[in-house]
Chains A and B, each alone.
Chain A
Amino acid sequence: QKEVEQNSGPLSVPEGAIASLNCTYSDRGSQSFFWYRQYSGKSPELIMSIYSNGDKEDGRFTAQLNKASQYVSLLIRDSQPSDSATYLCAVNKGGFQKLVFGTGTRLLVSP
């Protein structure tokens, strides 16, 4: 079992729709969860962090965490073509705050 699993996609949504990206993790001791966006050929950039069960909203983005189910999700409302990118889920591991990344979900938003 991979430590962090994501569907590779692509996930295709029309402009203005809600995109839902999902991630599961294997280490029940994980406490910190992150979503990164990576455009093709570029380095990842942090878009959301979440540490407690429930929802966390920031603009068009909502992160959801369910530690009992070991599940993290990212919702993007009013999706724009500029949101087309690969979204990486990351989970902390170990005392030195190492992050383990999923392989990413590619999101395509069509105009």
Chain B
Amino acid sequence: SQTIHQWPATLVQPVGSPLSLECTVEGTSNPNLYWYRQAAGRGLQLLFYSVGIGQISSEVPQNLSASRPQDRQFILSSKKLLLSDSGFYLCAGLESNYGYTFGSGTRLTVV
């Protein structure tokens, strides 16, 4: 089974600063990978997904971007953070028909 690694666990960033969150996958090759955001008291919102190196699909137009430079690496970025970017960011990998495995998440607070 696969393991999703995410860091950092918490992050406090000022408005207008850049962001880079990294997700790495262990235990599988060529996984489908996903970035979700969960705002306080809200559901999981799919931001980006990737089916392979360099292949990124965006679900919601926004201030964020994603990249997949390596098979097991998925990066979420922003050039200038907004207050509305605060939330709990989760990376997930698809395990065949077993649904997603989630990383431990990054709680981002933009101040």
Contact = CB atoms under 8 A, between A and B. Distances in A.
Interface secondary structure of B, over-half rule: strand
A88 interface: yes
A28 interface: no
B99 A96 contact: no
Contacts of B99: 32, 34, 36, 46, 49, 90, 99
Interface size classification for chain B? 20 to 34
A34 B104 CA distance: 19
Interface string A84-101: 000010100000111111
Contacts of B107: 41
B42 A46 contact: no
Q: A interface, how many residues as a size bin? A: 20 to 34
Residue picked from B32, B44, B46, most chain A C-beta under 10 Å: B44
A51 B98 CA distance: 10
A32 B32 contact: no
B42 A96 contact: no
B95 to A, nearest CB: 9
A99 B100 contact: yes
22 contacts: A32-B99, A34-B100, A41-B107, A43-B90, A43-B102, A43-B104, A44-B90, A44-B100, A49-B97, A51-B97, A88-B43, A88-B44, A90-B100, A96-B32, A96-B57, A98-B34, A98-B46, A99-B46, A99-B100, A101-B36, A101-B44, A103-B42
Interface of B: 32, 34, 36, 42-44, 46, 49, 51, 57, 59, 90, 94, 97-105, 107
Nearest 3 Cβ contacts at the A-B interface: A103-B43, A101-B44, A43-B102
